[in-house]
Amino acid sequence: MVVSNVIVCDAHGEKSGDVRIEDGVITEIGSNLKDTQIIEAHGAYFMPLLVDTNIRLQDGILNSKNIKVISKEALQGGVGHVVLNADSTPAVDNEIVLEFAQSGLSDLNGAKVDLMLNTLKEDATLSNIAILLKKGAVAPYMSTIAKNNLAIKIAQYVQMYGVTLFCKAEDNSLINSGVMLESDVSSKLGLAGIPDLSEVLHVSRMIEIARHFKIKILFKSIASPRSIYLIDKAKKEGVDVRCEVSLHHLVHSDAACENFNTTAKLNPPLACAGDVELLQLALKNHQIDMLTTLHQPSSPVNKEVAFYDAHYGCEALSDALPLYYTKLVKSGLISMSELVKLSVKNPAKSIGFEAGIIEVGQKVNALLFNPHAKGIVNNKQSLYEGEELSGEVLMAFDAKKIFSLKA
């Protein structure tokens, strides 16, 4: 099979040509390739399937049905590999829940799904990190509500197994008292605010733990430019820390919460307009290491309520690549190749495998994306409801499987 007239785009750059695929393997990249089976791409991008390591299930409920829905939605948006957040119900903090969750990973008709483990149980004691890693969890997750003695023990496990610690920087005493960023907007709405110090204080603390134990830490869904400054400074000093930022925090400010819009109630909360500009500048300056859709779907009964009572989160997974392309690439913030680094290569590396490069000899794990198509977001739980997006995922190639995704 030949996929002809494509723009081959990976973390190294872009080039026009054709791609030959045989038995699920890329065997040739060139021009004017011939075959009995030709897919004419008309200048679409041929690029790696995206990787998102910060996904939650419907209402946070961990079961086979919700996993299958996420897998299908992910592929629809061009995401071929997702990692489910560990703070589900039940939480992935013991062998029984891990095995239960793994039983729901079989027979998926969409994206590959992996699991992270929660290093802290509900009673704030340590889970059996070693056993859960050995049994297939791809990364340990820790909220900084963990006290120092526990954080140090977790760091020692991470050091022993050479994995990346997924860390959510937050202060328990501050996040419990607020529902959005502490700002002029929160004051105007009469809603209790969360200061950005909740994140910054604990980023600083965990950087020092990473420095001391020489471990890898990925800070999940960072929202404060000050946090990114601290992380970038530590990187330059040789500390192995990285940061992930959600699409929403790069394009929406806390003004989206006006009129008590519950789809804008996110965790972490959306930043003020001035900080959104600084986050975009950090993206341009290559200070952000990876992106996430921060997909967190909720039933209407948990969203169509008063802002204070509404669950956190919004939906974006099924529109992932059109959103990234429209908001970040077409707007000129980053190139398509940089998008591959941020949404494929670096997230994959954080869970221990290589991706983001398209070359001869590898199993095909790619998609066709038409950047010229137009579509309207039709999802009441999306921050982008009613907006026109550019781009459409046409097909996905996963080894010998081919998925036709065009609406």
Q: Supply the CATH number for residue 86's domain.
A: 3.20.20.140
Does 288 reside within a domain? yes
pLDDT tens sequence across 302-358: 999 999 999 999 999 999 999 999 999 999 999 999 999 999 999 999 999 999 999
Does 222 reside within a domain? yes
What CATH number is associated with residue 31?
2.30.40.10
Strands 25-30 and 13-22: antiparallel
Does 355 reside within a domain? no
Does 33 reside within a domain? yes
Specify the number of domains making up the chain: 2
Q: Show the domain range for 132.
A: 49-350
Give yes or no: residues 210 and 196 share one domain: yes
Strands (E), 49-128: 50-55, 79-84, 112-118
Of 313, 324, 314, 373, the residue nearest 347 (C-alpha) = 324
With a pLDDT cut of 90, the percent of the chain lying above it is 96
Does 345 reside within a domain? yes
Give yes or no: residues 298 and 387 share one domain: no
Give yes or no: residues 41 and 56 share one domain: no
Rounded to the nearest 10°, the torsion over CA 310, 64, 364, 11 is 30
Against a cut of 0.95, is the pTM above it? yes
DSSP structure string for 305-316: S-TTTSPS-B--
Q: Where among 350, 370, 394 does a domain terminate?
A: 350
Give yes or no: residues 345 and 385 share one domain: no
Confidence grade of residue 57 (pLDDT, cut at 50, 70, 90): very high
Distance CA 316, CA 76 (A): 11
Does 334 reside within a domain? yes
Give yes or no: residues 158 and 220 share one domain: yes
Does 387 reside within a domain? yes
Q: Where among 305, 322, 350 does a domain terminate?
A: 350
Give yes or no: residues 119 and 153 share one domain: yes
pLDDT at position 390 is 98
Give yes or no: residues 262 and 146 share one domain: yes
Give yes or no: residues 87 and 190 share one domain: yes
Give yes or no: residues 82 and 38 share one domain: no
Does 88 reside within a domain? yes
Residue type, 75: L
